[in-house]
Each structure stands twice: as structure tokens, then as C-alpha cells.
Amino acid sequence: MAQAQWWQRGIFYQVYPRSFQDTNDDGIGDLDGIRVRLDYLVGLGIDAVWISPIFPSPMADFGYDVADYRGIDPMFGDFSAFDRLIEEAHARRLKIVLDFVPNHTSDQHPWFVESRASRDNPRRDWYIWRDPAPDGGPPNNWMSNFGGPAWTHDPASGQYYYHAFLTQQPDLNWRNPQVRAAMHDVLRFWMARGVDGFRVDVIWHLMKDADFRDNPPNPEYGPGDPDIRRFLQTHSTDQPDVHSIIAELRGVIDEYDDRVLIGEIYLPIDRLVTYYGENLGGAHLPFNFQLIHAGWSAPRLAELIAEYDAALPEGGWPNWVLGNHDQSRIASRIGARRSRVAAMLLLTLRGTPTMYYGDEIGMENVPIATEDAQDPWEKNEPGLGLGRDPQRTPMQWDTSPNAGFTNGRPWLPLAADSATRNVAVQLEQPASLLGLYRELIALRRAHPVLHAGTYRKITALGDVLVFLRESAEECVLVALNLAGTAQDEIPLPPGTYGRVLLSTGRDREERVEGHLSLRPHEGVIVALDARS
């Protein structure tokens, strides 16, 4: 793919800054912590670092409640630290992508302070205010993603304001052109400082039904489900006019060279792909979370890969994600042994992969005692297993106290196995998961067919998934055993000859002729001969 953009060729790596590296011993990661670990990221082989929010915030939702879009929270550092990070990252040919949270602000943002001051305040319409229902209750039945109604009554004005998440996170009114202009200028502010792009938080939420109609009941809602599942979000998200808003954001991004717009979107594939926009004028990469929620079977994986590939608009570039700060870690979802095969799948599919910090060393969810819970969702709806703290625990760097993350008290507890499951230990282990990730990434870089070639399924029976990645220059076969039992004599297409480039055990180099055998939870990448 000769003319591929950097965001098409590269690999993204999400850093949750609170948990990556602390340099001032307050137990919370910071910008200098990211900077001092850049060489690790270069050695891993990634191309772009996506950083979760670093803006000033009361931290009701750990930075996703922004109080100033043009600042840096002191717990993470200052503009000097940010500029050093940008400079040193770019010197290493790493891109920096910021989280952009445009759907809502903190209730302490000056805009909202003004908006709630009075009904006739010039910024009243910057947020979503509605009169009560006839019975005095909320204007409609919309629910908050963090539990309870999505409307909070303001006694001073007698109206309700809308918040798709916490009460402390009022939603902006994106129908107001002044709001759009202000947020466009935020993007320009950060791009002028050298930021290479943005991951846009809950981008499918930006527009709401203009008539604020009730959402329909969810027929699948049942006991133990969170409040947000009571109703289908038919009118509160994914509105048709959101695409014109995203096109405007893309227009701002395109004012600068070589920038990327990524959208967080939890929608079925047929709706997800609409976020590429008309004539590909929307998000460059609408995040594809299908692997996060997929059943771990070869037929199901093959089905979703084919469905996604078929749904992409012409010229739309695919992407794949195994985990993030809101989802259970991949090693906990499918098991530690299977996570090696998952790594091979992620890094051999067509498109741009995004990794989550710590997945490369097999970090798992860390049990968090009730008294240690930090996540507001867990506090609002306790006992449902909704807390996101377990997947946000500190990065495990070495065998020193607190795994090299901090000399202070970490904001969340570390895993019990952090002394044995860490970067330093795995760098010394030839067959480690970290070693596998490094080799997979190097192989992907050496063989462009692995990111840009066509995808063709060969086998998806039971526990075995086999597919080809093909280009005019080369052909590579990927075979994945998803089972805990060996799979012998897997038939390959007639005339298939080649050599194993890499196995998940990093211990095979034999020739392949016509068939293949795989050990339990093993995957292999085979370079096929030209005659095959």
C-alpha cells in the first residue's frame, strides 16, 4: 500500500495516564511518566500513543469531566511537560493522539456555571435544558449511562439539565453553532501545539432527538442489568444529524496536515460504518469493538470479520481493538493462554490495530475491594460488576516495590502477580507474551501484506480459524487454534507450501506442505511460496 497514511500503516497504543508511570511519587501517573517510557514504546514497535484525558478536571469521572479544554490538570503536569513529551515523541517518530471529550463538560466548567446562572444567561443554550414533565418529573425517560435518570433538576431555574453520564457531566448542546465553533477552536489549539489527532469520546452521543421523545423499552432488559439497559437509546444517541457535526470536526482536522480523527462508537456494524461519513468525510477510524464482545469461536470470529469487511464503504479503512479502559482485559475475558492467539489475530487482520497498555504483558483484571473502589459507575450501581477499576490498575514495569510504577501509594492496587508479570521479567524470557508482541509487530512492519493485504477465509470450523493475507507481492497464511486441545492434520488448500515465520510459542520454523498441526492455544503465521 504505497500511499498509505501513517494511521493506516501504524499501531496505536492507549495510555491511561493515571496508571502508566508516576514520576513525582503521588501515586498517580503523569506526562513525564509517559515521556520517560517512550523508549519502551519504541522498542515495542508501536507508532502512535493515544492518551486518555489530561485536562483540568474535578475527576468525578477521572478526566472525562472536563473543566477547561485548553489546560492540563496539575496532577499530570503542565504545558512544559506536555511540550517536552510532544518534542521527544516526535523525535522518536511517535505520534501523539489526545482524548477529546466534546459531548459533555464538568459541571464546574465556566460555561456551565454561566449556563445555570439564569434562564436568560447568554450561555443558557450551550447546554440542554428542558421544562419538567406535567407531573413535575424529568422531561422524558432517558437514563444515565452511570445509573438513574439522565436529568437533574435545578431548583433555582425550575428546569432540568441533561447528562448522559454523571450528574456532574452536563451534555453540551451541539445544535448551538457557538458551541460548535468553540469546540472547533479547541481542536485547533491542540493541533497548533503539535498533537497528531484525536480520539473523540462517545462521538455517537453528540446529537439528540430534537423532540426529546421517550426511548422505547428494551425487551431484553432483565434483573441484574444496569439502568442504561432499561430502554433502547433510540432517541438519545446515533441521530442522523450527528454526521453533519462529525463532518465539521473532520473539516477542522483537515486544516492541518497528517492528522487523524478517531471516533468511539458502540454500535452494530451496519450503524458503525456510517460514521466514515459521506464520501469518507467523517471519522478516519470509527472504532471497531467487535473483537471485544465476540464469542471466542472460529465460526463467530470469521462471521464478524466477513460482516465488517463487507460493510465497509469503498475506501474505508478498517481497524480492530481488543481492549480499552472501559472493558475487561482480554486476558481475563478469554484466559491467559488464549490471549497469545488473540494478539496474533489482532496484529494480522487488515487495518489499524489499537492496543491497551499492559495487554502486551498479559495484565489481568485486578480485584478491587469495595472500600478501594474509585469508579463512579461502580459506586452508583454497586454489586453488578460494572466497575472499571480492575482494568485500570498501574502498569507493571519491574520487580521493585509497586512494580516500578511509583515510589508513593498507587491510586489503585497493583496485581498480586506484579513481581513476576512485568516488563523487566518478560524481556528476559524468550517465550514471553511481551516477546511475542514485539515479534508480531516487527513481522507486521516487515510484511506490509499483514496490514494492507486482502483477507480471505480458508477454514472456520470448530476451534480452528485459518485465513490468507494476500497482495501482489506476497501471500501469508494465518492459522489459529482457539481450543485447549491439539488440532492435527488441518487441511490447507491444495498446493499450499511455505515456511512458518512465527508461532505464538516462538519455537517453530518448519516447512508446511498441504496440512498443518497446531498445539493447544497456538497460532502460526506461514509465508507461502510463490507457487502456492
**Can you read off the three cell numbers belonging to residue 52?**
486518555
**Smallest Cα–Cα separation from 264: which of 198, 196, 174, 182?**
198
**Can you read off the three cell numbers belonging to residue 397?**
514495569
Do the beta carbons of residue 377 and residue 423 sit within 8 Å?
no
The CATH code of domain 6-105+177-212+238-440 reads 3.20.20.80
- Interatomic CA distance for residues 204 and 163, integer angstroms: 15
- Catalytic residues, which ones? 201, 255
The torsion angle over the Cα atoms of residues 419, 424, 426 and 427, rounded to 10 degrees, is: -170
Q: Where in the chain is the domain with CATH 2.60.40.1180?
A: 454-530
- Interatomic CA distance for residues 316 and 333, integer angstroms: 29
Q: Where in the chain is the domain with CATH 3.20.20.80?
A: 6-105+177-212+238-440
Fold of 454-530: Immunoglobulin-like (2.60.40)
**Can you read off the three cell numbers belonging to residue 342?**
488473540
Burial class (CB in 10 A: 0-12, 13-18, 19+), 122: exposed
pLDDT in tens, the chain (532 residues): 447 899 999 999 999 999 999 999 999 999 999 999 999 999 999 999 999 999 999 999 999 999 999 999 999 999 999 999 999 999 999 999 999 999 999 999 999 999 999 999 999 999 999 999 999 999 999 999 999 999 999 999 999 999 999 999 999 999 999 999 999 999 999 999 999 999 999 999 999 999 999 999 999 999 999 999 999 999 999 999 999 999 999 999 999 999 999 999 999 999 999 999 999 999 999 999 999 999 899 999 999 999 999 999 999 999 999 999 999 999 999 999 999 999 999 999 999 999 999 999 999 999 999 889 999 999 999 989 999 999 999 999 999 999 999 999 999 999 999 999 999 999 999 899 999 999 999 999 999 999 999 999 999 988 999 999 999 999 999 999 999 999 998 988 888 899 999 999 999 989 999 899 999 999 999 999 965 4
Q: Look up residue 319 and give its DSSP letter.
A: E
Do the beta carbons of residue 146 and residue 376 sit within 8 Å?
yes
Do the beta carbons of residue 497 and residue 521 sit within 8 Å?
no
Do the beta carbons of residue 496 and residue 512 sit within 8 Å?
yes
Residue 298 has φ and ψ, to the nearest 5°, of -60, -45
Q: What is the pTM of this model?
A: 0.97
